[in-house]
Amino acid sequence: MRSLLTCVCLLTLAPLALADEAPPLPEVARVVDHMDDLYRSKSSEGRVVMKVVTENYQRELTMDVWSKGDDEALVVIRSPAREAGTATLRNDDGLWNYAPRADRLIRIPSGLLSQSWMGSHFSNDDLMRESSYDDDYDASLAWGDRGGQRVLVMTLVPKKEAAVVYTRLVFTMTTEGWLPLSADFYDGDDVVKRMTYSDIGDLGGRKVPKKLVVVPTDKPKESTTVTYEKMSFDGPIDETLFTPRGVRRVAQQR
Percent of the chain scoring above 70 in pLDDT: 89
Supply the pLDDT for residue 129: 55
Q: What is the CATH number of the domain that holds 159?
A: 2.50.20.10
pLDDT tens digits, residue range 206-225?
Answer: 999 999 999 999 999 999 99
What is the extent of the structural domain holding 144?
A: 25-251
- Chain mean pLDDT for the chain: 87
- Is residue 121 a part of any domain in this protein? yes
Query: What's the burial of 165, exposed, middle or buried (CB within 10 Å: 0-12/13-18/19+)?
Result: middle
pLDDT at residue 20 greater than cutoff 90: no
pLDDT tens digits, residue range 143-198?
Answer: 999 999 999 999 999 998 887 878 999 999 999 999 999 999 999 999 999 999 99
| CB-based contact 238:66 (threshold 8 Å) | no
- Is residue 13 a part of any domain in this protein? no
Q: What share of the chain is helix, strand, coil (3-state, %, to 5)?
A: 20, 45, 30
H-assigned helices in the chain: 2-20, 28-36, 124, 133-136, 244-251
Supply the pLDDT for residue 128: 54
Supply the pLDDT for residue 254: 66
- Is residue 4 a part of any domain in this protein? no
Domain count, the chain: 1
Mean pLDDT, residues 65-69 taken together: 90
- Is residue 5 a part of any domain in this protein? no
- Is residue 160 a part of any domain in this protein? yes
pLDDT at residue 111 greater than cutoff 80: no
Minimum mean pLDDT among 115-129, 184-198, 226-240: which range?
Answer: 115-129
- Is residue 68 a part of any domain in this protein? yes
| CB-based contact 239:61 (threshold 8 Å) | no
Q: Which of 192, 209, 213 is nearest to 200 (CA)?
A: 209
- Is residue 6 a part of any domain in this protein? no
- 123 DSSP 8-state letter: B
Mean pLDDT, residues 40-55 taken together: 93
Supply the pLDDT for residue 12: 39
- Is residue 207 a part of any domain in this protein? yes
**Those residues with Cβ within 8 angstroms of residue 80's Cβ, 6 or more apart along the chain or in another chain:** 59, 60, 61
